[in-house]
Amino acid sequence: MHKLIQGLGVGIGASLGVCARLALTLWLGDSALPILGINIVGAFLMGWLRPNAFWGTGFLGGFTTFSAMMLNDASFYFFTASGCILAWLAGDRLAK
């Protein structure tokens, strides 16, 4: 029963994260740069806050969009991967 409740929490968190990403892309535009920024902010928050399943896997997992970003342009693959890794490391360092 605990796994079911945790799974529902992750699903609810993911749906809220997707809504937050949608709101930001409607406001900032859905071009590659705002999406890259959303991914980097999400990775930074994951490293800094070290969130539980609801906020991490759920909300931030829904908020970021790595798979869609990787398909847009090969050059953005590098910026997404390296930028998000560096952002996570910065957040992790800040958390210590």
Q: Are 87 and 47 in contact (CB under 8 A)?
A: yes
Q: Are 60 and 42 in contact (CB under 8 A)?
A: yes
The response to whether 61 counts as a known ligand-binding position is yes
| C-alpha span between 18 and 95 (Å, rounded) | 25
Positive or negative CA dihedral for 65, 31, 47, 74? positive
- CA geometry: angle 39, 45, 50, nearest 5 deg: 130
The response to whether 62 counts as a known ligand-binding position is no
Residues making up the annotated binding site for Na(+) are 61, 64
Residues making up the annotated binding site are 61, 64
